[in-house]
Amino acid sequence: MNSTAKPTPPPTVFSPVQLGALTLPNRILMAPLTRCRAEAGNVPGPLNAEYYGQRASAGLIIAEATSVSPRGFGYPNTPGIFTEAQVAGWKLVTNRVHAAGGRMFLQLWHVGRISHPSYQPNGDLPIAPSAIVARGKVFTGTAMADYVTPRALELSEIPAIIEEYRHGARLAREAGFDGVEIHNANGYLLDQFLRDGTNTRTDRYGGSVANRARLSLEVTEAVVSVWGADRVGIRLSPGGVFNDMQDSNPLETFGHLLRELSPMGLAYAHITRVTAQDIAHGARDGVGPKELRSQFRGPVITAGGFGLKSGNQALAEGWADAIAYGVPFLANPDLPKRFKTGAPLNSPDESTFYAPGAKGYTDYPAL
């Protein structure tokens, strides 16, 4: 008798997946979402623990961007990971998520030039690879103000920046996370070094693609030295223009970085896709995970306006291994269950995205 083996069906968002050291029960990940609800001292509190605990059915929660340095802030009431009080606050969160059966990575962040003296120690200028001002406005905590021209980092200062990421990674371990994601996207410090629109340096951190990618790779090596590569991910936004970003050849730039990262054996690369909103703001389509998938040997997470159907399509086409959902998870704490049962989704209240308190944060109903 001849039997023909049935082809293996493609994975769906409900399929388990291995990301580095973690076996996830589904591929519906919670994207990192800035919510501006940390307590005094940039410390997470019980409200943050409740919010993340409600969303523990995600295959993996990637916590909101969290500053590794007192100089790394550019928004009000965002969390940090450089003091013992912040570690204690994050322990409340990870304990709640783990008690609910979830897994959680912390996103390590430094905003670089996307800041203002009102956020900086001693009212200093924000730091950046080069003294190039970002177009746009920043909320200082009391009013909207133009971004200021940042101060270009001296070559001698860069090792200390790398150490801030290493220290943040170490404290994330103390706080009970399952791993960390390096925020190398969205126009913040590492992205500023990587792209030639914001990096005009002439030393070993500027000029060629290899030089501009150097800080990203050195930070990744530092974080891997703490966690091991199989508990470290990295987020990239190759087509993004948020925070006044551009690069003359993003496929070359990000392709180089992904090829250099591949031998490290990271848990994943989190590569955002270009959305219609990005294109309306000047982004170029054709620069995203689909085009860059072949440059990275490990698992790829993608994000950017996905629903259930489009998420499954990306998995079936093979250019992503998991989907990170942002606003849908914000408004639907039980998003995997709603997807599975076909239940309607809650509507997000945009007026509460960055507002203080429980409203629009922990009060979205579950089924």
- Decide: helix, strand or coil at residue 29: strand
Could you say which residues of the chain have pLDDT below 50?
Answer: none
* 262 contacts: CB under 8 Å, gap ≥ 6: 295, 296, 297, 298
pLDDT at residue 81 in the model: 98
pLDDT at residue 301 in the model: 98
CB 190 within 8 A of CB 164: no
Considering the entire predicted model, what is its pTM?
Answer: 0.97
Structural domains in the chain, sorted by start: 17-352 (3.20.20.70)
Looking at the DSSP assignment, which residues form a beta bridge with residue 22? 19
One-letter amino acid for residue 80 of the chain? G
pLDDT at residue 1 in the model: 52
pLDDT at residue 360 in the model: 98
pLDDT at residue 2 in the model: 56
* 301 contacts: CB under 8 Å, gap ≥ 6: 19, 29, 233, 268, 269, 270, 271, 320, 321, 322, 323, 324
CB 129 within 8 A of CB 196: no
One-letter amino acid for residue 331 of the chain? A
End-to-end Cα spacing for the chain: 50
Q: Which of 144, 82, 152, 92 is nearest to 118 (CA)?
A: 144
Residues carrying an active site annotation: 188
pLDDT at residue 166 in the model: 98
The CA distance from 50 to 19, in Å, is 26
Q: Which of 147, 259, 233, 140 is nearest to 192 (CA)?
A: 147
**Pure H helices in 228-281:** 250-261, 276-280
